Structure 1
């Protein structure tokens, strides 16, 4: 039942009146129409629920309690259970004047409770108050939604800028060693895939959370940032390095960690990204048996981030041409990784890498260096 259909009513607040008595509907309807409201009416609980679910929904509901079939309390329960209607303020308008009934109605979520016989000025004042409160809530919700959208947009933009900045720094290091080509893209993709494959493993599931994997993937391109500190005559030497030159080359791990540490001092508070970036920079050349560098870490003492980076880095180095060596076939690289199990590499990480080797091979082909 709709008591007003004028097109000009569209901008007016809509009040749904629910009562099984036609006289009550008529009296309340005339009162609200005279006060400038748009009015719709229902003479049963099910009809009220249908009208409340329309789009747009009513701004306020005046609800009788004593109705056959579905009483007002049941109607309110159903309204509260649906996301589309739970935020519509409900005022009980009823002949039940027992304080316990009022307490029950308010406890169920009614915005107000008015007893019959109604006093017109009181009813209009209560309606006006609830509509003003709803208008304020709607404005706040709209504002909050806008702020959340802006915050998300800012976060996405910040992450994009961060990713670009990291890639730029990594490429700066790679310009010192031009034949590495897509090494950054490949190793980053290997790291992400390997960490994702390991996330449910009993040894790693507590560490490899989605956030950790995201931060590790973001930090992976910086694993060789320390190469900017290695002299060109060593970094670009076409032949084998002397023992002294090799010791200088190995310093790129510590140089990388120090460079990231200096950047970290500009950040406010602890940033997990910097922690992981330092780990992969300093320790991606450590070996499971303790024979790696720069600190000779062994087994579990090597951070998980660096253990994952180690396999990604070695695999890519094997299949890539360098100024001082030729590349090897992919199946030969796989055999080398397998031979390094429990010596160079964490055995469980190695097993997962080998079991899913085709996926890593696909990444290698996708970002192949056309030299």
Structure 2
């Protein structure tokens, strides 16, 4: 259980020590308060009512509690049990004239730190308080240091993750620069993968991972000769065969990394041209044999190609693009992914708004092959 003292340790490490005194005897409270005031750096909080003391402790963070046993409800043991439910690390000293071993065992089992017998010896009391508060300060200092180190680790981890994503984006752009028809394709298609993954109900971290890895889907185009990649007209059969090698090339480039992000990117690069009915390439995988990130990216990739201007076509209107993906539901595309995209169709215009495009015209005569998917 995380105690409130642990949560607030960074704020408390250098502050005055709050010492709570609980005793229903006015004379005892006055005596103990005077002794606590003699210890430098202490702020005494005396209570004649254990109920009020407990209420205060549940709303504040004490550093030491000096607790009588024999009091109106809650008595010392009941107070200690309720107190420990909130404050796991704060030292509690039972100050009592009862020497019964059963009481001490019960108090220890409930989390008592130490005992002082009444009547309290002033010298012993001050020494015990100083020692316990010294330990308390050390605990707060360690907690504060731990929280600082934890924050530094989180900051460094975030920095590494951002650099890793930057590396992926830059490599993706390197591939994209060799294929001038794509324009802002990377950003848009990655955004579509995120929408689809979220609508499928994937955990946020998994959806974010797919979104971050998707821009690497076409990195294998680096290995395609310029005369094929940049050819303005249709590809002949041999050129198409060579072009269809880019998923395997992309997988070879990205595979073998210890980075989870690059592992997913390698999977996407290899599988984003597979089709749900098994008619895709390079391995002819079908249905669930295609990893889910590949199925998601396959739809996002084609959907952005349909709705974007390319040198060989105008952008399709959204209704025509939706009709196309629905017609290919269960053929080219995973039905669940199509349904997920349609469920998030209200978010699609915002993704498209990232790039200005001319007025769209539906080119119904264009076939899928002409998009070089």
Report the TM range for the smaller structure's normalisation: 0.7 to 0.9
Deviation at 1:38, TM superposition (A): 4.4
**Residue deviations 1:220-272, cap 9 Å, x none?**
0000011111112211111111111111111111111111126x2xxxxx432
1:153-172 correspondence runs (5 A): 153-172=155-174
Between stretches 218-227 and 43-52, larger displacement belongs to 43-52
**Residue deviations 1:198-232, cap 9 Å, x none?**
12xxxxxxxx3333222211110000011111112
1:27-106 correspondence runs (5 A): 27-36=31-40, 37-49=42-54, 51-52=56-57, 57-82=61-86, 85-106=87-108
Q: TM-score, normalised by structure 1?
A: 0.85
Deviation at 1:365, TM superposition (A): 3.2
Give 2:208's match in structure 1, choosing from 206, 211, 214.
Answer: 214
Q: Find the aligned partners of 2:357 and 2:230 in 1 and give their Cα distance.
A: 18
Q: Find the aligned partners of 2:221 and 2:212 in 1 and give their Cα distance.
A: 19
Report what 1:286 is aligned to: 274
Deviation at 1:41, TM superposition (A): 1.8
Report what 2:318 is aligned to: 330
**370 and 109 in structure 1: CA distance in 2 versus 1, 3 angstrom threshold:** farther
Superposed CA RMSD: 2.3
Deviation at 1:172, TM superposition (A): 0.9
Is 1:365 matched with 2:343?
no
Report what 1:230 is aligned to: 224
Between stretches 350-359 and 144-153, larger displacement belongs to 350-359
Between stretches 301-310 and 127-136, larger displacement belongs to 127-136
Between stretches 137-146 and 343-352, larger displacement belongs to 343-352
Report what 2:243 is aligned to: 249
Report what 2:153 is aligned to: 151
Q: Find the aligned partners of 2:245 and 2:15 in 1 and give their Cα distance.
A: 72
Deviation at 1:115, TM superposition (A): 2.4
Q: Find the aligned partners of 1:11 and 1:327 in 2 and give their Cα distance.
A: 65
Deviation at 1:334, TM superposition (A): 1.4
**Number of residue-to-residue matches in the alignment:** 345
Q: TM-score, normalised by structure 2?
A: 0.85
Q: Which runs of 5+ in 2 are unaligned?
A: 1-13, 360-373
Give 2:234's match in structure 1, choosing from 240, 263, 266.
Answer: 240
Report what 2:3 is aligned to: none
Report if the CA contact (8 A) 1:182-1:368 is conserved.
no
Deviation at 1:278, TM superposition (A): 1.1
Report if the CA contact (8 A) 2:54-2:83 is conserved.
yes
Report if the CA contact (8 A) 1:237-1:323 is conserved.
no
Deviation at 1:149, TM superposition (A): 1.3
**Residue deviations 1:278-331, cap 9 Å, x none?**
111011111111111111112221111111111001111112222333332222
Report if the CA contact (8 A) 2:175-2:218 is conserved.
yes
**50 and 187 in structure 1: CA distance in 2 versus 1, 3 angstrom threshold:** same
Instruction: For residue 66 of structure 1, give the secondary structure of its aligned residue in structure 2.
Output: coil
Deviation at 1:54, TM superposition (A): 7.0
Give 2:337's match in structure 1, choosing from 323, 346, 349.
Answer: 349
Q: Find the aligned partners of 1:315 and 1:11 in 2 and give their Cα distance.
A: 60
Give 1:185's match in structure 2, choosing from 169, 184, 187.
Answer: 187
Query: Which protein has greater RCO, CA pairs closer than 8 Å, 6+ apart?
Result: 2
Deviation at 1:12, TM superposition (A): 5.7
Instruction: For residue 283 of structure 2, give the secondary structure of its aligned residue in structure 1.
Output: coil
Report if the CA contact (8 A) 2:92-2:112 is conserved.
yes
Report if the CA contact (8 A) 2:250-2:269 is conserved.
yes
Instruction: For residue 164 of structure 1, give the secondary structure of its aligned residue in structure 2.
Output: helix
